[in-house]
Amino acid sequence: MSKISKKHKAALGVYDTAKSYQLKEAVELVKKITYTKFNASVDIDVRLGVDPKQANQMVRGVASLPHGIGKEVRVLVLANADKEADAKGAGADYFGLDDYISKIEKGWTDIDVIICTPDVMAKVGRLGRVLGPRGLMPNPKSGTVTTDVAKAVTEVKAGKIDFKVDKTGIIHTTIGKVDFTPEMLTENAIELIQVLSKLKPSSSKGTYFRSISLSSTMSPGVKVEKASVPGI
């Protein structure tokens, strides 16, 4: 059994781990119990009443968080030369095609998001073994396979996030940084949850939102009272 650090133990003494808190209160608690010296990420875990093994209950989508996630997102655009000006103008960090495909095949993955155009998917497809496990494979459902490269880059840079339910039925994603105000984190959380609400599969029966919790990097989790979140 792993040993609990002094900081983790101190954090657990600040609040009742068995209690569910109002969303804004939970956000304030997470900020209070974060003791890292760096600007930690704030994460949300939403357990959904779905069976990810069933194709018609897979929940995946994108959300444009109003305040972004507080991180500079490195974007690579894989496209033919006629799209390079659009990619550069929208702020893509890297753009090109064959040279970057070769780099990725050799193990380079120093990017956060890859956007490509449909006409190059035949080439990009062979990178699945490298990109898939890292969650970097472009996908039409997440808006990263598109002819409108400029729009896709702009949205990603502005705070658009891609999420997917894991095999246990949980959506885990980042909604900001500890130095965000409570209002910013609250609004980001609400936006994500409202998007999830709209994505509820028609085949999902019973309670859709099973539980919600917030945490920061290396902090314990804080349970959120579901009724305090608009859209549930």
pLDDT category at 13 given cuts 50, 70, 90 is confident
Question: Does the structure show a pLDDT above 70 at 4?
Answer: no
Tell me the whole-structure pTM to 2 decimals.
0.81
Range of the domain at 38: 17-69+160-228
- 63 with 83, same domain? no
Q: Are residues 166 and 192 in the same domain?
A: yes
- Judgement on whether residues 95 and 130 belong to the same structural domain of the protein: yes
In a domain, 61, yes or no: yes
pLDDT of residue 116: 97
Q: Quick one: pLDDT at residue 115? A: 97
Residues 167 and 208 in one domain: yes
* 149 within some domain: yes
For residue 4, being part of any structural domain is answered with no
pLDDT of residue 136: 93
Joined together, the tokens standing for residue 19 give 């209690």
Confidence band, pLDDT 50/70/90 cuts, at residue 1: very low
pLDDT of residue 7: 67
Same-domain pairing of 148 and 97 = yes
| Number of separate domains in the chain | 2
- In this structure, the answer to whether residues 86 and 142 fall within a common structural domain is yes
Residue 1 in any domain: the answer is: no
Residue 181 and residue 142 in one domain: no
> What pLDDT does residue 218 have?
83
Among 107, 136, 158, identify where a domain stops: 158
Any idea what the CATH number is for the domain that residue 91 is in? 3.40.50.790
What is the chain's mean pLDDT, rounded?
92
User: Which of 158, 184, 214 delimits the end of a domain?
Assistant: 158
Asked which of 136, 158, 180 is the last residue of a domain, the reply is: 158
Q: For 143-161, what is each residue's pLDDT tens digit? A: 999 999 999 999 999 889 9
Q: In what order do the strands lie in the sheet with 170-177?
A: 20-21, 222-224, 209-216, 41-48, 170-177
